[in-house]
Structures are given as structure tokens and as C-alpha cells.
Amino acid sequence: MTFALLIEALGIASNASQHGYVIDNMLEMLHWFMLVLFVGWGSFYFYTLWRFHKSKNPKANYVGATSHLPTKLEGGVLVLEVVLLMSFAAPIWANRVDDWPTGPDVIQLDAVGQQFLWNFHYYGPDGKPGKTAYDKITSANQVGLDRSDANAKDDVVTIGEMHLPVNKPCIVNVMSKDVIHDYCIPNMRVAQDAIPGSIIPLWFVPIKEGTYEIVCAQLCGNLHSKMKGTLIVESEEKYKKWYADTLKLTAPPPDAAPATPAPAAAAPAAPPATP
């Protein structure tokens, strides 16, 4: 159950992931806390303007305020912040970094950022990524996948479009080919910097079918705002069909024999010489 009155009023994208509700609850609490602080400190500010106005204090007072109330209030804020951090933020973070999904149901893929698009490299049913190499990168093979590698036989590579089955966990290994990007799906409540030279995994479980926006959340160049992708969360049958169709379109047939040159056509027999 989510309590998301304030953050919904402020226009947060609707949550579509399993862990998102916990994050939303925390965000909602923080917003209420900030609202109380804003009203509290705002009122205090106007109170001091009134209280210390020169018409009421014609002579400067060198002692100043003697009340200890502000110190006590500050102490209260500190205690609340520690409670928020230790009771809510830390357990959420522990779940994100310690409770990795395992098993054959986990969809594994790489999200490879480049100026200005996202490439997706699915590991396939074997759960093992095919080898990639920089010297294999071409405009038609943006992640440099080596199709001759045995693990690459069931790999699917797409540009800008990511599919996932609903209610199945996925692990996305985030990386970059050029500058720092940030792989962010607001509806899934995930975001991770894509840093060249690093492979940083994140995981989530989509719980609502639909089409969601993938964005880059790090200013990465002049077309940064155009660096978008689409996540389609669908039923498992639809996902499997999409995977099989895309594999057929992008990968060569598994046991394609190397093309053998056609035998040279025999020269037509010369017509018999007529006497």
C-alpha cells in the first residue's frame, strides 16, 4: 500500500516496479518532513522580523536570544533524520545491493550507452553473454558482438528498445562506450551511471505491463535530451515471441554452412562444324 499524496501532486511518474513502493513511501515521508521544516523555519523567520523590529527594540541588545527552543528543535530534526536514514534508507539500499535475484527466470542483459542512444545486449536463455570486442564494432553491430562465439548464438542486440516479461526479475549491467551517461527508468525507480570502463549492475522486477521511457540522466553532450529508449513490459508469451522473432532477424541461422562457390558453368559445346 502506498501513501503518495504529495509526490503524486508534484507529478512523479507512476510506479511500475516491485521495490518502487518502498521508495515512494520514503519519498512521501521526506516531502512531508520538508514541508513541516519549510513552514516551521519560514514562520520562525517572519516571527524574528516582527519580534526584533527596531520599533520594539530602539536600543541594540547585546545579549541576544536566551531561549533554548531552537537548539531543542534542531536536536529533534537531527533525531528524525537519523531515524529516516537508519530505519528506511539503509534497509532499502541493503535490499538493492544484497538481495540479487538468481535462477533461470532472471533476464540478463547489458545496457550500453553511447552518444546518443542505448544499446541492449540480451544474454539469451543460456544466461551467458557472447564475447564482444571493440574491433567488431560497426554501424550494424554497435556493441561489437562476436557472432562466432558459442555463447553469442542466442544473444539478441537491439537499439533503443528493451522488452521484459512482467513479474520476472531482470539484471541490467550498465556500461558506456564513450562518456558518462545514466541509465534511468523513472517508472521502475531505477537509475545508474554508465561509466566508461566500468560494468555496474542493477536489478528490478517490473510488475505492470506497459510502455515506459528510458532516459539518460547525466548531461552527456549536445543531444543528451534526445537520448531516450523504450521499455516494453509484456506477458511472458509475448516477450518470448518478440525474443525469438528478433533473434531470427538479427542472428545468422545457427548451423549455416559456409557458402561454397557455385561450380563454373560449362562452356557451351561448339556447334559441330558443317562441311
Residues that bind Cu ion (CB under 5 A): 181, 216, 220, 227
Shortest reach from residue 120's CB to Cu ion, in Å: 15
- CA 45 vs. chain centroid, Å, equals 41
The letter for the amino acid at 210 is G
Q: Cell numbers 533476464 label which residue? A: 107
Shortest reach from residue 173's CB to Cu ion, in Å: 17
End-to-end CA distance of the chain: 103
* Cis preceding linkage at 88, omega within 30: no
Residue (188 or 220) nearer to Cu ion, CB? 220
Beta bridge partners of 268: none
Indicate the pairing of strand 170-176 with strand 181-185: unpaired
Residue (182 or 234) nearer to Cu ion, CB? 182
Q: In this structure, are residues 5 and 28 in contact, taking their beta carbons and an 8 Å threshold?
A: yes
Shortest reach from residue 147's CB to Cu ion, in Å: 27
Q: In this structure, are residues 229 and 117 in contact, taking their beta carbons and an 8 Å threshold?
A: yes
Shortest reach from residue 181's CB to Cu ion, in Å: 3
Residue (181 or 189) nearer to Cu ion, CB? 181
Residue (110 or 154) nearer to Cu ion, CB? 110
Shortest reach from residue 223's CB to Cu ion, in Å: 9
Q: In this structure, are residues 117 and 91 in contact, taking their beta carbons and an 8 Å threshold?
A: no
Residue (118 or 123) nearer to Cu ion, CB? 118
